[in-house]
């Protein structure tokens, strides 16, 4: 296959183009980047040796296409070719095609198996193809007729499907639909037959969303191309599996309970998140970002500036998703998947590009104009639920605009707990709130089904939305009370109202405190067996929540948050400071730090890598770290330094062989020797453990147990590897169920091997947080369970209600079942007698 190299003065620009190109072909084309120079003060430039290494990394006898921006990029590329052997030089072609469009056209052509000359021709014709594809007039966004490439030799195939999701194709299923459609080369179009819409492009998140697809609507989906059958089958599987959503888990029903008849100072609104809050008000308003509009002489430079802002916004959203996964759970954090897809929407990007290049409009004005078009297209929909998706469009649009104009992100700093009063809150605003400081939310806009309301409920922050705008005139510090169950708020409430609300709040707080008090006790079964309950965390704030919820330690510190969302790796000192701060909060409790687990499905933007066809089976975890020993040793040194005086353990991810463990321990020994020589304190007896998440590790668990001090089973990955079912592929994701007997037998085998060797074994996958699985895990002999901080009290309660004999019997029966469904039915029957 033809390899492709992107050469640019700007590393951020090149990585953005690479990411866009990779998305087009799901990483199936060898694509490398050579961009920027190692100069912190002036990073713009090109390096011939970088270009040479990039060419070498993707070299193929089929040829290599090199795309460049202007100036020294061309000279660096020409110089790099001189370093190649004579025989290889003839296979490398420098192409004058535009960088962004040329890269996209080239990767699509290469993925289709075209030869080097055809790939070059596609790259050179990229702008012509784009103009034909868009057919945009005056920036209109409603483009449905363009195609990526001609499919005239293939007949168009069509299927009709009915949507069963309770909320239709809202943000998450729409994002999944678009992501699936984008995996195929065929042109995918979709039409809402119920609403008699026109066909729109299936790879556009906004065009799919504004179809207004609700439960019961019938869709027509067409596919034209070589892989049309596969594309339609994949999309049909999404509908068959209900897009992975469980419609039995409905949002809380909020009934209007009158606390008292209407009184002066009473505000009526929408009950969005239950609970009572009494506190002074503090106003919050997202900063208004001015949008300059002016003529630009160099539109290509302006487009690159926008690409850089979009790439940075993607990094910010990925970091927010990582934090939200810990704070509110993976299901609700998936809201931000749609935000990422918005930034990748080809129709939106092409519309902005047309405004910049054809009208010579500056990036801020072009971006805001198209975002406004998209937002207005949502506002004109008859469906009120889809109208609410405007908040997501505005949220993402403002994020990019802020980066373009250089504004610092607004952060809310509260000296004392307060009720937040605002016109509205974006999902990003809400996800960043601290529930210990923001006791309640009162806004003049919003609804109970908005993404902000969903996040508020998950965070446990009472919220009343849609109240009268007069609330915005209140002075900061004014006392307010609100009841998120009844949907009412009171300004300077009368004593009798305060008494009623105080009683309601105290009753709720008493129940919560009782649960938390029990959570601070050890988790002991009825017959006296103790199971340690630890927390999975990803930041300093997470560990504070974990301790408050009764965590007996941290079973998994995900260190990726230190590495993502930045342009260079964190220093040893940065890492040491964070690890030490977390250990201090734990105050002697165990802290298990998992070493860097990136690569493959979680690439670092500052590490150039060749795209992989199947990243879950690729260059990730310990494999990545052993190939970057300097990066790995820096982290190990920071962990070792933090271990002095603290109960810290090291855990290695993605272990498949004994050789990997020994290689990692050798680098750890080197780090220890360096610190000892420098007379720097560390725990010389620091425990080393491994993640068991690969079937090979289970098979040789007896050998691995002789090399380490503990095991921790990661059932999220172990499930997909055992069942050979990619959990990101909707057609097979249901196979990757940790309650399947095949996976449970792997857990049993691991526990038996660990205990035979005299080491303890924990489980840190999502299965640990499922109370339905608690009796099985207890019966299989797990010594420790590590869960999200909010789940700790309920897991401890579940353990306290069981006996070991009862759990062993349930586990033995579960191992004999035929499916995960049968396992669930069995546990429900046995535990509800």
| Phi, psi dihedral angles at 229 (to 5 degrees) | -60, -45
Asked whether the beta carbons of 792 and 546 are under 8 A apart, the reply is yes
Determine the Cα–Cα distance for residues 656 and 653; give it in Å rounded to an integer: 9
**Edge-first strand listing for the sheet containing 3-8:** 31-35, 3-8, 64-68, 92-95
Locate 439 and state its tokens: 């006791």
Residue 161 β-bridge partners: 219
* pLDDT, mean of residues 188-212: 83
In degrees, rounded to 5, the angle at the alpha carbon of residue 286 between the alpha carbons of residues 280 and 289 is 155
Report the candidate in 812, 831, 799 with the shortest Cα–Cα distance to residue 745: 812
Across the range 249-255, mean pLDDT stands at: 36
The rounded radius of gyration (Å) of the Cα atoms in the chain is 28
The model's pLDDT over 686-716, given as tens digits with 9 standing for 90+, comes to: 999 999 999 999 999 999 999 999 999 999 8
pLDDT at residue 742 greater than cutoff 90:
yes
Write down the pLDDT at residue 151: 53
Question: pLDDT grade, residue 676 (50/70/90)?
Answer: very high
Half-sphere exposure of 515 (CA within 13 A, CB side): 14
| Nearest CA among 639, 540, 541 for reference residue 593 | 639
The number of CA neighbours under 13 Å toward the Cβ of 292 is 9
Does 2.40.37.10 match the CATH number of domain 157-244? no
Give DSSP secondary structure letters for 128-152. Answer: HHHHHHH--STT-----S--SS--T
Catalytically annotated residue among 451, 625, 646, 740: 451
Answer yes or no: are the C-beta atoms of 389 and 370 closer than 8 Å: no
Average pLDDT over residues 131-147: 37
Q: How confident is the model at residue 139 (pLDDT cuts 50, 70, 90)?
A: very low
Residue, of 567 and 533, whose pLDDT is higher: 533
Class in CATH terms, 299-405: mainly alpha
Q: What is the pLDDT of residue 427?
A: 77
What local confidence, expressed as pLDDT, does residue 711 receive?
Answer: 98
pTM to 2 decimal places: 0.52
* Band of pLDDT at residue 112, cut at 50, 70 and 90: low
The pLDDT, as a whole number, for residue 601 is 53
Alpha carbons within 13 angstroms on the beta-carbon side of residue 235 total 34
| pLDDT tier, 136 (very low <50, low <70, confident <90, very high otherwise) | very low
Contact 393, 373 (CB under 8 A): no
Decide if 653 contacts 693 (C-beta within 8 A).
yes
Q: How far apart are CA 15 and CA 318, in angstroms?
A: 15
| Cα distances (angstroms) measured from residue 635 to each of 574, 624, 631, 741 | 10, 13, 7, 37
Is 266-286+411-504 CATH 3.50.30.10? yes
Alpha-carbon span 717 to 107, nearest angstrom: 30
Q: How far apart are CA 415 and CA 304, in angstroms?
A: 41
Query: 192-206, 240-254, 517-531, 675-689: which has the highest mean pLDDT?
Result: 675-689
- Domain 3-134: what homologous superfamily? Phosphotransferase system, mannose-type IIA component (3.40.50.510)
Could you confirm whether 442 is annotated as catalytic? no
pLDDT at 268 > cutoff 50: yes
Tokens of 207: 């065009």
Do 534 and 590 touch, CB atoms closer than 8 A? yes
CB 417 within 8 Å of CB 395: no
**pLDDT tens digits along 292-327:** 889 989 999 999 999 999 988 887 787 776 666 655
pLDDT band at 329 (very low <50, low <70, confident <90, very high): low
Is the pLDDT confidence value at 258 over 50? no
Q: How far apart are CA 683 and CA 687, in angstroms?
A: 9
DSSP string, 17-47: HHHHHHHHHTT-S-EEEEE--S-SS------
C-alpha torsion sign, points 637, 642, 643, 645: positive
Q: How confident is the model at residue 680 (pLDDT cuts 50, 70, 90)?
A: very high
Can you tell me the distance from the alpha carbon of 217 to that of 247, in angstroms, rounded to the nearest whole number? 16
Model confidence over 377-431: pLDDT tens digits?
A: 777 765 555 565 677 788 888 889 888 888 656 666 788 899 999 888 877 788 7
Q: 321 or 570: which carries more pLDDT confidence?
A: 570
pLDDT in the model for residue 335:
65
Distances (CA, A) of 791 to 552, 698, 770, 794, 797: 13, 27, 9, 6, 10
> Mean pLDDT across the chain, nearest whole number?
83
Is the predicted pLDDT of residue 203 greater than 60, yes or no?
yes
Confidence check: pLDDT of 451 > 70: no
pLDDT at 610 over 80: no
Are 626 and 665 in contact, with CB atoms under 8 Å apart?
Answer: no
Burial label, 196 (beta-carbon count in 10 A; 0-12, 13-18, 19+): exposed
Tokens matching residue 763? 């489980």
Q: Looking at per-residue confidence, does 507 or 301 come out higher?
A: 301
Task: Report the C-alpha gap between 444 and 353 in whole angstroms.
Answer: 36
User: What pLDDT shows up at residue 120?
Assistant: 86
Q: Which of 233, 365, 228, 366 is nearest to 291 (CA)?
A: 365
Helix, strand or coil, per DSSP, at residue 634: helix
**Weakest mean pLDDT among 236-250, 343-357, 589-603, 651-665:** 236-250
With cut-offs at 50, 70 and 90, classify the pLDDT of residue 509.
confident
Indicate the domain borders of the chain: 3-134, 157-244, 266-286+411-504, 299-405, 527-831
Is 764 in the active site?
Answer: yes
At residue 131 the predicted structure's pLDDT band, cuts being 50, 70 and 90, is very low
**Which residues are CB-contacts of 704 (< 8 A; sequence separation ≥ 6)?**
655, 658, 661, 690, 692, 697, 711, 753
pLDDT at 618 over 90: no
Return the CATH superfamily for domain 527-831: Phosphoenolpyruvate-binding domains (3.20.20.60)
Q: Residue 580 has which token pair?
A: 């030490």
- Beta pairing, strands 463-465 & 270-273: antiparallel
- Look at residue 411 in the predicted model and tell me its pLDDT: 63
Query: For the CA atoms of 756, 761, 766, 769, what is the dihedral angle to 10 degrees?
Result: 110
pLDDT of residue 52: 85
pLDDT tens across 589-603, in order? 999 999 999 865 556
In whole angstroms, give the CA distance from residue 426 to residue 398.
10
Q: What is the pLDDT of residue 822?
A: 93
Q: Are 696 and 685 in contact (CB under 8 A)?
A: no
């Amino acid at each position: 296959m033809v390899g492709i190299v992107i050469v640019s003065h700007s590393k951020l620009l090149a990585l953005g183009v690479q990411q866009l190109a990779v998305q087009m072909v799901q990483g199936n084309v060898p694509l490398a980047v050579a961009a920027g120079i190692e100069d912190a003060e002036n990073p713009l430039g090109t390096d011939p040796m970088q270009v040479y290494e990039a060419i070498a990394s993707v070299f193929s006898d089929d040829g290599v296409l090199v795309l460049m921006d202007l100036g020294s990029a061309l000279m660096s590329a020409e110089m790099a070719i001189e370093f190649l052997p004579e025989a290889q030089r003839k296979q490398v072609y420098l192409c004058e095609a535009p960088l962004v469009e040329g890269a996209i056209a080239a990767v699509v052509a290469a993925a289709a198996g075209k030869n080097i000359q055809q790939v070059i021709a596609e790259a050179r014709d990229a702008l012509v193809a784009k103009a034909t594809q868009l057919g945009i007039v005056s920036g209109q966004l409603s483009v449905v007729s363009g195609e990526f490439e001609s499919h005239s030799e293939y007949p168009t195939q069509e299927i009709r499907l009915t949507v069963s999701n309770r909320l239709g194709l809202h943000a998450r299923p729409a994002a999944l639909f678009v992501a699936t459609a984008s995996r195929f080369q065929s042109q995918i179009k979709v039409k809402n037959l119920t609403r008699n819409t026109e066909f729109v492009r299936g790879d556009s998140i906004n065009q799919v969303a504004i179809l207004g697809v609700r439960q019961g609507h019938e869709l027509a989906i067409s596919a034209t191309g070589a892989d049309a059958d596969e594309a339609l089958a994949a999309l049909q599987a999404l509908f068959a599996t209900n897009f992975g959503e469980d419609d039995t888990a409905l949002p809380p029903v909020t009934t209007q309970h009158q606390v008292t008849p209407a009184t002066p100072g009473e505000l009526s609104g929408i009950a969005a998140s239950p609970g009572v809050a009494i506190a002074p008000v503090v106003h919050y308003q997202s900063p208004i970002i001015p949008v300059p509009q002016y003529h630009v002489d160099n539109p290509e430079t302006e487009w690159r500036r926008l690409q850089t802002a979009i790439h940075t916004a993607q990094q910010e959203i990925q970091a927010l998703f990582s934090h939200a996964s810990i704070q509110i759970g993976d299901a609700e954090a998936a809201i931000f998947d749609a935000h990422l897809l918005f930034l990748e929407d080809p129709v939106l990007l092409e519309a902005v590009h047309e405004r910049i290049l054809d009208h010579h409009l500056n990036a801020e004005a072009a971006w805001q104009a198209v975002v406004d078009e998209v937002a207005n297209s949502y506002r004109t929909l008859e469906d009120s639920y889809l109208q609410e998706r405007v908040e997501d469009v505005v949220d993402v649009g403002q994020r990019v605009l802020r980066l373009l104009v250089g504004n610092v992100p607004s952060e809310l700093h509260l000296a004392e707990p307060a009720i937040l009063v605002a016109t509205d809150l974006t999902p990003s605003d809400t996800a960043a709130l601290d529930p210990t400081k923001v006791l309640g939310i009162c806004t003049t806009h919003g609804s109970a089904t908005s993404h902000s309301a969903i996040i508020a409920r998950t965070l446990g922050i009472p919220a009343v939305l849609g109240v009268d705008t007069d609330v915005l005139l209140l002075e900061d510090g004014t006392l307010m009370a609100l009841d998120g169950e009844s949907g009412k708020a009171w300004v300077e409430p009368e004593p009798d109202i305060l008494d009623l609300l105080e009683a309601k709040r105290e009753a709720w707080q008493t129940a919560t405190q009782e649960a938390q008090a029990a959570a601070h006790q050890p988790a002991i079964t009825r017959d006296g067996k103790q199971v340690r309950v630890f927390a999975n965390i990803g930041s300093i704030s997470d560990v504070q929540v974990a301790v408050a919820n009764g965590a007996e330690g941290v079973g998994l510190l995900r260190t990726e948050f230190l590495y993502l969302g930045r342009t260079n790796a964190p220093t040893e000192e940065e890492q040491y400071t964070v690890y030490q701060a977390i250990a201090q909060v734990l105050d002697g409790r165990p802290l298990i730090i998992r070493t860097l687990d990136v690569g493959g499905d979680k690439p670092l933007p500052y590490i150039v890598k060749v795209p992989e066809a199947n990243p879950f089976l690729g260059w990730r975890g310990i494999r990545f770290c052993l190939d970057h020993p300097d990066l790995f040793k820096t982290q190990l040194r920071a962990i070792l330094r933090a271990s002095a005086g603290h109960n810290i353990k090291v855990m290695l991810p993605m272990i498949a062989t004994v050789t990997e463990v020994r290689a990692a321990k050798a680098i750890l020994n080197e780090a220890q020797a360096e610190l000892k020589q420098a007379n720097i304190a560390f725990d010389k007896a620091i425990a080393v453990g491994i993640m068991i998440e690969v079937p090979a590790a289970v098979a040789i668990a007896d050998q691995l147990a002789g090399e380490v001090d503990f095991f921790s089973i990661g059932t999220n990955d172990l499930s997909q590897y055992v069942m050979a079912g990619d959990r990101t592929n909707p057609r097979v994701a249901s196979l990757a169920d940790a309650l399947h007997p095949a996976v449970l037998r792997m857990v049993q085998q691991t526990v038996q091997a660990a205990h035979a060797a005299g080491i303890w074994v924990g489980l840190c996958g999502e299965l640990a947080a499922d109370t339905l699985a608690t009796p099985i895990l207890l019966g299989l002999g797990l010594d420790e369970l590590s869960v999200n901080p909010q789940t700790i009290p309920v897991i401890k309660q579940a353990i306290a209600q069981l006996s070991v004999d009862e759990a062993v019997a349930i586990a033995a029966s579960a191992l004999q079942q035929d499916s995960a469904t049968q396992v669930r039915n069995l546990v429900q029957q046995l535990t509800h007698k």
